[in-house]
A and B are shown apart, each in its own frame.
Chain A
Amino acid sequence: MELYEGGCELKLLETLAGHSDRVWSLAWNPATVAAGTPLVFASCSGDKTVRIWENTPSHSASWTCKAVLEDTHTRTVRSCAWSPSGKLLATASFDATTAIWENVGGDYECVSTLEGHENEVKSVSWNASGTLLATCGRDKSVWIWEVQPGNEFECVSVLQGHTQDVKMVQWHPSTDVLFSCSYDNTIKVWAGDDDDWQCVQTLGEPNSGHSSTVWALSFNAGGDKMVTCSDDLTLKIWETDNIQMHSGDGYAPWRHLCTLTGYHDRSIFSVHWSSEDIIASGAADDAIRFFVENRDGLVDGPTYKLLLKKEKAHDMDINSIQWSPGEKRLLASASDDGTIKIWELASLCMENGH
């Protein structure tokens, strides 16, 4: 389905209330993609809880809160991530722990608690095969954990290198290379195996990097491009050599491709690259923006253009925006206003001749 310039609209499908404090983050369960099975996502909040939301496609697309994961974290839950199988949910909290939850017949049980960070844990991410977990936090470190049988997690590496608070970690979609972004304005790339991990690249101002805190990063489906968003009001697109990446070495250097500047007025907290190459951003000006590659006259390589801007998508800052897995152009946004909104990006125009 083609997108036509100026011919798209963002339709609000539903507004979900329930959390009693700001919603920091949300994550779609990757396993619920088969036709007929419900779409599920988790949200986490300053109210110290995690909520699981479900939608059965056959019933008028109405979302219900299926579970509230509470009485475990003692402070804000900042981030959550499902394992690739969709069976486990990891939640990262300001209480310095990361909890692992398992869905046991509809009830979510906390099956493990990962301790070690000195203070607030800010982000958690599973690798593509579900064998490794990464966490990061204000103590400036990135931790790598190995997933073992019986829901055991062993810390295999504590990575120092960032000089400030680490805001997010994200594994590459197809290789075991870890990316982190920080209050120190840089993005770091970590590679290795077993317990021997190193920082193999730092993307900072000398590499056309950001000039303020980098809040989030997201990869395209192929894993050869990445977008980062920052307090410096820009999005930056980076690319790598795919062939070299999948060869024996497993790691290839990243380089700056382009910077999207002038589109955002306040900090950009979240960015997500869809499977159809639409980049969605959520910012502190309450707006959602969509960017696509600009195919009109290639100059020195690809550039990107604004497809659509939805002002006042929420009443307050947007902290997280995530495309759903599956075919429909559904996405969810989470805000300081305590709500989650479900949207559909729809084409307005019909193709000529239809």
Chain B
Amino acid sequence: MVSELINANPIVYEKKERRARSAPSDYSDEYAAEPIDQQEVFDHVRDIKDPEHPYSLEELKVITEDAIEVDDVQSYVRVTFTPTVEHCSMATIIGLCLRVKLLRSLPSRYKVDIRVAPGSHASEASVNKQLNDKERVAAALENPNLVDMVDECLAPSYG
């Protein structure tokens, strides 16, 4: 474990208000699944705790609602996140947390791409490649230490 934090003094932002979901107005569609939208995906990930600080990814502006692209018809989501510092070695952990949370929250038909915001990280291509290699992700998630770390970050994001 590193004794020094990568980013000892992160900027903490205010959380965006949470909009209540409105009830479906068309009763004939009562049992129809609502299309998944940007807000819903953001709600799944906004409270994930940063691996290093007691703040959420939303509070640190690592993830914003605008950085989430959703196409429910195509069953596709792309999440772009911004690490707080350019050389953040936690970038792959954060990416992994995002991937696991969405894997557990979205229907299995969904294809998910995770990437760091262009220009926001020194090893952008390398981090993106790792995060989108399904086999590498699967192997990483068989590592109990890594899973514990991820679960700790995800804990505040449930419910």
Contact = CB atoms under 8 A, between A and B. Distances in A.
Contact of B111 (A94, A183, A266): A266
Given A266-B111, A315-B108, A316-B108, A138 B133 contact: no
Interface in A148-185: 165, 167, 183
B18 interface: no
A212 interface: yes
A95 to B, nearest CB: 9
Contacts of A334: none
A55 to B, nearest CB: 28
Interface of A: 22, 46, 75-76, 78, 94, 119-120, 122, 138, 165, 167, 183, 212-213, 231, 266-267, 284-285, 315-317, 336-337
Contact of B136 (A165, A266, A284): A165
B115 to A, nearest CB: 14
Contacts of A266: 111
Contacts of B136: 138, 165, 183
A46 B134 contact: no
Contacts of A337: 108
B44 to A, nearest CB: 19
Interface string B81-119: 000000000000000000000000000110100000000
Contacts of B134: 267, 284, 317
B129 interface: yes
Contact of B139 (A76, A267, A284, A285): A76
Given A165-B136, A284-B134, A317-B134, 14 more contacts: A76-B142, A78-B135, A119-B139, A138-B136, A138-B139, A167-B135, A213-B129, A231-B132, A231-B133, A285-B111, A315-B108, A316-B108, A316-B109, A336-B108
A333 B68 CA distance: 32
Contacts of B109: 315-316
Please provide the 5 A-B residue pairs with the shortest distance between their CB atoms, ordered closest to farther.
A120-B139, A75-B142, A94-B139, A316-B108, A94-B142
Interface of B: 108-109, 111, 129, 132-136, 138-139, 142
B146 to A, nearest CB: 13
23 contacts: A46-B138, A76-B138, A76-B139, A78-B135, A94-B139, A122-B135, A138-B136, A138-B139, A167-B135, A183-B133, A212-B129, A213-B129, A213-B133, A231-B132, A231-B133, A266-B111, A267-B134, A284-B111, A284-B134, A285-B111, A315-B108, A316-B108, A316-B109
A317 B139 CA distance: 17
Contacts of B108: 315-316, 336-337
A22 B109 CA distance: 14
Centre residue among B109, B136, B138 by max chain A CB count within 10 A = B138
A22 B108 CA distance: 12
Nearest to A48: B142
A76 B136 CA distance: 12
A336 B142 CA distance: 16
B131 to A, nearest CB: 12
B159 to A, nearest CB: 26
Contacts of A138: 136, 139
Contacts of B111: 266, 284-285
B75 to A, nearest CB: 10
Contacts of B129: 183, 212-213
A80 to B, nearest CB: 16
A22 B139 CA distance: 13
Contacts of B142: 75-76, 94
Contacts of A317: 134
Contacts of A267: 134
A167 B138 CA distance: 14
